[in-house]
Structure 1
Amino acid sequence: MWRRRLLVLLGVTGLVLGTGQAIAGPVDRADVVRTDAGPVRGVVERDARLFQGIPFAAPPVGELRWRPPQPVRPWLEPLDAGTPGNACAQPSDFGLPESFVEDCLYLNVTTPRRGRGLPVMVWIHGGSFTTGAGAVYDARALATRGDVVVVTVNYRLGPFGFLALPSLTAESRGSQSGSYGIQDQQAALRWVQRNAAAFGGDPRNVTIFGGSAGGASVCVNLTSPTAAGLFHRAIVQSFSCASGLATKQQAEAAGTELATRFGCPDPATAAACMRGKPVRELTLSWPGGFPVVGSRELPLHLPEALRRDRFNHVPLIMGNTLDEMRLYIGLEFEARGNPVTPRIFEERVREVFGAAADRVLARYPLSDFPSPAIALSTVVTHAGNTLATCDHLAGYRLAAARPRPVPVYAYQFADRTAPVPVDIPGFDEGAMHATELPYLFTGVFGAPLTEGQRGLSNTMIDYWTTFARTGDPNRDGLPRWLRHRPGTGADVLTLDVPTGGGIRPTDVAGQSDCAFWNSIGFGNGSDRP
C-alpha cells in the first residue's frame, strides 16, 4: 500500500551533531539567557541570536526508554548552547549521518537580535518518524525577516518513539503505547510555555508548523487533548489531516513481531526484555510506523476527530506541493535505473486503486504525459494517499466546515524549478515533496535560490510569520490570500515564481480532477484502514 511506501518520508542534508554537555566559560550578558532549568549561553550574530542543544527533558535512557519524557536535571553554570545536541537514534538517509544515541531530547532557539513579546514558531521536522533533527533547519532568515522566535525540536524516532507492545500499553495506565515521540513534542511545547518569554517570545502566541511527518505531527497535536493550550495557530505542510494513522492492532502486531525477532516473545515481559536490547540493532531493524491511535495524545483517528469537532480550534494554514509524489516514484524507479514502463504503470494503478483501476487508466491515458513515470506520479499526487492533493482538500473541508469552523488558508507550492531533496538524472523532479522547505529555511538541500526564488521565499516567510502574529497571513504589500471555503472554487493559493505564473488563487480541485476521484471513492481523504 502507498502508506507503507510513504514510510520513508523526508530527511534533509546538513545535520551537525554535538554533545549537548554543559560547559562553563566566560559569561557575556548578551548571549546568556536563564531558562527554568539553568542558564544557557548562545551565539550572538549581527541580526540574530542562536541557542542550540538546549535539553528540554531528561535523557530517555535505561529505565526511561519507552517512558514519558521526564524533567531535566537543573544546572548552575551557563550551558554551552553554541552547537546542536545529539540527533535521535536513526539510520543514515538522504545524506543525514546515522545516529545511535538515545540522549537526544534537545531543542534550538533562533531569535532576532532584539525584541520582546514576539510570536513563537515551533518547527517539527519530517523524516517518516524515522530520521531527521531540529538542528538541520537554519531559521535565521525566518526569525529575522519575520521578527519571530523560532524553536526547532528533536523527538524520539523509530522504535524509541513509536514502538507499541501490549506490555508497554499495560505500563501506560490505560493509554495506548506507541506515541513517545508525540509526548516529546508536547514536552517541548510545555518548555516553550515556561521559557519563551526569556528569549523574547510570547507564550500566549505560539504557532506549531511542520512538513511531511512533521505535518502529520501537527495534525496529531491539533487533535490531541493533551496539547490543548500549548499552541494558538498551526501550519500543516504536505500531510493530509484527513489521513488515518496506525491502529492499536496494527501497531502492537508489528511491535510484537519485532520483539519476537529480538528474542522477547512473551507479551507479559517483552517491554522489560526489549529495554535491554542495543540501540543500534533496534534502530536498524525498525520496519517503520506512525503514531498510534488510542493514546491520551491521540484518542481518535484524525478525520474522526475533525468530523466530531474534537480538535483544538486554532487558525490553520494547510497545503502541499504540486508534484508531491515525483519524489517517491523517482526514488523507487528512475533513481535505481529501473524506469517506469507502461506495464509497471498499469500494475501500480491496479495495486493502488483496485476495482476502480480501469476507470483511472481511462481517465489518465499514458498518451497525455511525457513519460510513464510522470503519469504515475501525477495519478498518485492527485489522490489515494496522505500527500495527495484531493486528500488534502478533504482535510481542509473537515477543518473549515465544522459547526464552529476555524479559519483555513490553503496553498499549493508550485515552483518546478525549486531545489530538490534528491537530484535524479534524467527525471523531471518538478515541485516534488519538500521543495517548499528551502524557501522557509536557509540552505536546505544546499542549492542557492535564484533572484525570483528569493522573492518567493521572502513572500512565503512574510505569509507564514504574519499568520503567526495575527492568525491571518494577509497584510499590506502581499498578494491577497483568500480564506478557504469548501466548494467555492479558486480558493487555494498557488505559490510560484513569476516565470511559473506567480502567486495566484487556483482551483486545485479542478486541476487535480477531484470530482472524478470523489466519484470512485478516492478523493475524500485516506481515512480508509
Structure 2
Amino acid sequence: MSTGRRAWTTALFTVAALTAVLGVTPHRAPVVEPQDELTVRVDTGQVRGARSGAHRVFFGIPYAGPPTGVHRWAAPRPAGHWSGVRDTSRPGPLCPQVPSAYADISSLEEDCLVLNVTAPPKGRGGPRPVLVWIHGDGSVGGGEFFGARGLADRGVVVVTINYRLGIFGGYAQQGLPGSGTFGLQDQQAALRWVQRNAASFGGDPTRVTVAGSSFGAAAITGHLTSPGARGLFHRAVLSSGEGMMDMPAGMMGPEVPGYPWYVWRPAREMREISAEMTASLGCASADPAGTLECLRGLPVKTILKVPHIMNAFQAFGYGNEVLPQLPPTALGAGRFHRVPVLSGATLDEHRTFVGMQYDAVGAPFTTDDYDRALSTAFGADAAVVAREYPVSDFPSPALAWATVVTDRMWALGTAAQHSVLSQRVPLYAYEFADRDAPMYLPLPGDFDFGAFHAGDTPYVFDDAEARAHFTPAQWRLSDTMTDYWAAFARTGAPAAARGVPPWPRYAPGAPVPYTQSLAPDAIGPVDYVRGHRLEFWRRLG
C-alpha cells in the first residue's frame, strides 16, 4: 500500500434463497395474536419489546439473514422466520469492528443485520411518521447507541440500524456483484423492512424519513441516486454530509493525498484497496473465485487483525448496479429521487480532526505546520490563502488551519450540495453553531473544539454523557431542534407548532440563500456564504 493511501486510512474519522436460511427451511410461526402493546407481529414472527418511560422499544430485530459463509460479501438475504415470541428487550449484536481512539467498542459477530424501534404508545389517531437513522463513521458503531425518546415524545416512530462496516461493507473484487456497496445494500434492506413492517409499530410507510450524520449522511446522498432506493423513503436529513465534498492534499493529515471526492471511489480503486488490504491474509490467487472462497472462510478475528482494514473502507464504490453513476454527477444532472431535504453542517467542522491529530493529544500544531499545510494543500496559492487567513487572526495555528479546512472543504461542499438539490426539491439548510457543545469523544487535551463535527447529534438523539453537561439554554436548543426534526418527518418541512422560530426554504437564486443558525437562545438566519468566505474559495478555484 502506498504511503499516501495508508495515511488516508489512518486519518479518517468519519473520515448480502429464502428456502435455505442457516441450512434449514424457514417456517412461519403459528398465528398467535399479540396479547399487549409490547408484543408485535412483523413479517418474520412476533417480537416482544420493553417499556422506556412512556415508549415502547424493540432491539435487535433481524431485517436480513446472517452475512456469513458464502453470504459474506453478497447482497443481503431475507431474514429467517422464528416460532414463538422473540425477546427484543435488549440490544442485539454489533457488526464486526475494532476499538478506535474515539470509540472503545468491538465485535466479532457477523450475524448483526438487526435494527431497533422506538415507538410511542399505542393510541388514537392515524399512522405516525417514521424516521430511520443511519449512524456515521463506517468503521465503528451501531444503531443501539442512538436513543430516540425525544422524537418519540413528538409522535415519531424511530428505527436505528446496524449495517456492515469497514471491509465487510466495502470489499470489492473483479466479477463480484455489488462490490464496494454491501453496507449501502444493507441500509436499503432495512428500508424495505420498514416498508413491510412500520405499520405494526404504528408507523406510516408512506412517510419515511431517512436521516444520518457524516458517513451516514454520505450514504443517504448515495441512496438519493440509487435505483434500488426508489420509493423507500420520502424525506431525507443530511447532517455534516460529505456527498459533494472534495479533499485537497494534506487536509486530513500531512501525508494524505488529495482526492477528487471524499467518499466516492471508482470500482477499480475499490478493487485495488481491497487487494492491498487483504494481501497479508494469504488468499491472493490468480483465480478470483479462489481468492473470494479463501477470504470467506477466514474467521472475523483474523481479518480484523490487519491494521487499518476497517478505516480503509470508509468510502463507497460506484459504477455498479447499486450506484451506477458518481453521485455528485447524478445530483448535478438532476438524476435523483425527488424528496424534501433538511441539510446542514456545524460551524467548526474540522476542529474535531485537527484536535484529534494535534493539540488535543499533546502534539501542538505550530506556525511552521500551518505554513507547510497551506503549501501542501494549495501549492502556488498558499500565500493567497495565508493572506486571507493570517495565523495572527486566530488564537492558535491549529484553529487557523481548522478554519481554513472547514471553509474550503466542508462549507464549500455543503453549499454545493444545497445548490444542486434546492434547484429541484424543497431544501431547508442549517448551521449548528453552539460553540459550547459538550465534547463526548474521549480526547484528553485542552482544545477549543467549538461547534464540532457531529456535535449536533446529541441535541436530537439521546446521549446521556453529553446531555449531562447541557445548560438550560442548550436544553432549549435541543427541544427546538427535536421539534424541527419531528415536524420535518411529519410534513416535509421543519415548521413546528410550538412557537419555534420560522425556517424558510433555501432559495438558490437569492442573494443570501436562507440558512438557519442553531445556537442556544440564538436561532435565526445566518449568511453562510459570507461566514465561510465561500466567494473567496470560488474565485480561487
Q: TM-score normalised to the size of structure 2?
A: 0.87
Q: Answer yes or no: is 1:433 the counterpart of 2:449.
A: no
Q: For 1:266-345, list aligned pairs within 5 A.
A: 266-267=285-286, 268=288, 269-285=290-306, 286=309, 287-289=311-313, 290-345=315-370
Distance 1:246-1:330 versus aligned 2 partners, 3 A rule: same
Deviation for aligned residue 1:95: 3.1
In structure 1, runs of 5+ residues without a counterpart are 11-25, 522-529
Which residue is equivalent to 2:21? none
Q: Answer yes or no: is 1:97 the counterpart of 2:105.
A: yes
Q: Answer yes or no: is 1:121 the counterpart of 2:152.
A: no
Which residue is equivalent to 1:235? 237
What is the distance in 1 between the residues matched to 2:406 and 2:220?
Answer: 21
Distance 1:38-1:503 versus aligned 2 partners, 3 A rule: same
SS of aligned partner of 2:219: helix
Contact 2:68 2:111 in 1 (8 A): yes
Q: Answer yes or no: is 1:399 the counterpart of 2:408.
A: no
Deviations 1:55-80 (A, max 9, x none): 11111111110011111110121100
Which region of structure 1 is more displaced relative to structure 2, 212-221 or 107-116?
Answer: 107-116
* Equivalent position amino acid for 1:504 in 2: G
What is the distance in 2 between the residues matched to 1:7 and 1:65?
Answer: 25
Which residue is equivalent to 1:191? 193
Deviation for aligned residue 1:28: 4.7
Contact 2:439 2:466 in 1 (8 A): no
Which residue is equivalent to 2:157? 149
Contact 1:178 1:251 in 2 (8 A): yes
Which residue is equivalent to 1:494? 517
Deviation for aligned residue 1:4: 5.2
Which residue is equivalent to 2:258? none
* Equivalent position amino acid for 1:397 in 2: S
Which residue is equivalent to 2:257? none
Q: Answer yes or no: is 1:211 the counterpart of 2:213.
A: yes
Deviations 1:433-476 (A, max 9, x none): 11101101112544422211111111101111101111111144
* Equivalent position amino acid for 1:494 in 2: S
Deviations 1:284-306 (A, max 9, x none): 42051211011222111121011
* Equivalent position amino acid for 1:254 in 2: I
Distance 1:35-1:349 versus aligned 2 partners, 3 A rule: same
What is the distance in 1 between the residues matched to 2:115 and 2:276?
Answer: 33
Deviations 1:314-359 (A, max 9, x none): 0000100000111100000112211000011111122222332221
Deviation for aligned residue 1:478: 1.8
Which residue is equivalent to 1:527? none
What is the distance in 2 between the residues matched to 1:113 and 1:283?
Answer: 41
Deviation for aligned residue 1:6: 5.7
User: What is the aligned counterpart of 1:226 among 225, 228, 241?
Assistant: 228
Which residue is equivalent to 1:61? 68
SS of aligned partner of 2:37: helix
Contact 1:126 1:213 in 2 (8 A): yes
What is the distance in 2 between the residues matched to 1:120 and 1:140?
Answer: 13
SS of aligned partner of 2:183: helix
Distance 1:325-1:3 versus aligned 2 partners, 3 A rule: farther
* Equivalent position amino acid for 1:510 in 2: R
What is the distance in 1 between the residues matched to 2:363 and 2:8?
Answer: 22
Distance 1:368-1:481 versus aligned 2 partners, 3 A rule: same
Which residue is equivalent to 1:13? none
Contact 2:212 2:238 in 1 (8 A): yes
Deviations 1:201-224 (A, max 9, x none): 000110000001111111111111
User: What is the aligned counterpart of 1:8 among 6, 9, 13?
Assistant: 13
What is the distance in 1 between the residues matched to 2:421 and 2:8?
Answer: 22
What is the distance in 2 between the residues matched to 1:479 and 1:491?
Answer: 13
* Equivalent position amino acid for 1:114 in 2: K
SS of aligned partner of 2:274: helix
Deviation for aligned residue 1:396: 0.3
Deviation for aligned residue 1:258: 2.1
What is the distance in 2 between the residues matched to 1:209 and 1:124?
Answer: 6
Q: Answer yes or no: is 1:132 the counterpart of 2:132.
A: no
Deviations 1:9-56 (A, max 9, x none): 28xxxxxxxxxxxxxxx9751210000000000002441000001011
User: What is the aligned counterpart of 1:161 among 164, 169, 182?
Assistant: 169
In structure 2, runs of 5+ residues without a counterpart are 16-32, 246-260
Deviations 1:382-434 (A, max 9, x none): 013xxx11210000001112xxx100100000001111133443211111011
What number of residue pairs does the alignment pair up? 491
Distance 1:335-1:475 versus aligned 2 partners, 3 A rule: closer
Distance 1:8-1:283 versus aligned 2 partners, 3 A rule: farther
* Equivalent position amino acid for 1:34 in 2: R
Contact 1:215 1:238 in 2 (8 A): yes
Contact 1:46 1:113 in 2 (8 A): no
Deviations 1:230-277 (A, max 9, x none): 000000000133233111121111111123221222252321121122
* Equivalent position amino acid for 1:38 in 2: G
Which residue is equivalent to 1:247? 266
Distance 1:262-1:218 versus aligned 2 partners, 3 A rule: same
What is the distance in 1 between the residues matched to 2:292 and 2:389?
Answer: 49
Q: TM-score normalised to the size of structure 1?
A: 0.89
What is the distance in 1 between the residues matched to 2:321 and 2:471?
Answer: 46
Q: Answer yes or no: is 1:472 the counterpart of 2:480.
A: no
SS of aligned partner of 1:54: strand
Which residue is equivalent to 2:371? 346
Deviation for aligned residue 1:520: 1.5
Contact 1:60 1:69 in 2 (8 A): yes
After TM superposition, the runs of 4+ consecutive aligned structure 1 residues lying more than 6 A away are none
What is the distance in 2 between the residues matched to 1:304 and 1:381?
Answer: 23
Identity %: 41
Distance 1:204-1:6 versus aligned 2 partners, 3 A rule: farther
Contact 1:326 1:430 in 2 (8 A): yes
What is the distance in 1 between the residues matched to 2:489 and 2:164?
Answer: 26
SS of aligned partner of 1:39: strand
Which region of structure 1 is more displaced relative to structure 2, 190-199 or 286-295?
Answer: 286-295
Deviation for aligned residue 1:490: 5.0
Which residue is equivalent to 1:362? 387
Which region of structure 1 is more displaced relative to structure 2, 374-383 or 39-48?
Answer: 39-48
Deviations 1:341-380 (A, max 9, x none): 0011111122222332221112110011010011011000
Contact 1:137 1:442 in 2 (8 A): yes
